[in-house]
Structure formats: structure tokens, C-alpha cells
Amino acid sequence: LGMDVDEIGLAPLPQDSDGIGTLAGGTHGMINPKASPEEIAAAVKYLSFYKFQQYTDEEYAVTSAEAQAADGSLVGNPAVPLVSNELVDQWLTWIDDDINVPRDHFEAYIASVTPGDADELPLIQEPRLAAQQIYAIEDTVIQTVLTDQAADIDALIADANDQAQAAIDEAASE
């Protein structure tokens, strides 16, 4: 979207002294329980292709990275790995010519989500209650902090905590 890629980075959230972890995130692939066995097999094949093909098929990985780069998309963004470190490293080697983000800007984040890394954080499941409401509350805090140099961060966090707890309490009572 026109942003200078040298201004892009990603890091884990600061942790308290005991550490708290990082949100695992993710998406779901759903298959209608009324689907036929053939439809289920096709859906599983598609989900496997969509999520994993880039890690196991060099031609697909390169073609996909080239297309993303040509579209102006970021190539080489880190994410919580769905596959082994070895497969991620293989994928990065395959797409190296098309990586258009400074991966060194992501080192702390990569260490925090890489299995077996000394800096790896525990993956925490999304909140079961009021997750989307909590995200909306957090978004407002983050946007305010990033756009208002005079933002009272402690007050914003305290208020967000109160709002989030109210949303959780309301969801729990339903």
C-alpha cells in the first residue's frame, strides 16, 4: 500500500517476568458435515494445497512468490509456522529472489514463534469469550498510541482492561 518496506517490522509483545506467551491466531477450514465423501476429500485436498503446498513444492512456491511480488504484496513475511523449521527454511531458500521485506526487522518475532528457539513463547489460544470485542478494544488503544504522541498509555490500558472485563463478564452471563 505504498509504505516503505524499510519501515516494516514485527516483534513479540513484551512479557512480564514469568512470560505470558503469544496469541496463536490462525484460521479454520470448515467442511459441511452433510458433504459427500468425495466433497470432503476435495475440501481436504484444497486446504492442504492452500496451507502447505508452498512448503513442499518448489515450483509452486516460486510461482506464488513471483506472483505476489508482481502484485505488490509482501513476500517473506514471518508467521507462526505451520510446518517444521526445516520446511520453512527450504521455502525461504526457494523464494529468496522474491523476498521483498527486510527479514532482519522480524528477528525477535521469528525467535518468539520458532519451535525450539531459546526465545520461543508459549502459544496461547484465542480467548473463548468475547474475543472479537476484546480485539476491537485493543485496536482502539493501539491506534491511539500510534497516532497521538500525548496519549496516556497507562490510562488507555486501564480503560481497555475495564472494557474487556465487562465484555467477558457479559459473554459469560449469556
Q: What's the pLDDT score for residue 26?
A: 66
Nearest to 103 by CA among 126, 78, 84: 78
Q: What's the pLDDT score for residue 23?
A: 74
CA dist 151 and 128 (Å) reads 30
Apex 12 CA angle, 52 and 148, nearest 5: 120
CA dist 55 and 41 (Å) reads 21
Q: How many CA atoms lie within 13 A of 151 on its CB side?
A: 16
Tens place of pLDDT for every residue, the chain, 174 residues? 677 888 888 888 777 777 777 777 667 778 999 999 999 999 999 999 988 999 999 999 999 999 999 998 989 988 888 899 999 999 999 999 999 999 999 998 888 888 888 788 887 777 789 999 999 999 999 999 999 999 999 999 999 999 999 999 999 998
Q: What's the pLDDT score for residue 52?
A: 93
Q: What's the pLDDT score for residue 86?
A: 94
Q: How many helices (H) and strands (E) does the chain have?
A: 6, 2
Q: Which helix (H) or strand (E) covers residue 23, if one does? A: strand 22-23
Q: Grid coordinates in use for 36?
A: 459427500
pTM (whole model) above 0.85 = no
Q: What's the pLDDT score for residue 11?
A: 83
CA dist 80 and 83 (Å) reads 9
> Rg for the chain (alpha carbons), in Å?
20
Residue type, 116: G
Q: Which helix (H) or strand (E) covers residue 22, if one does? A: strand 22-23
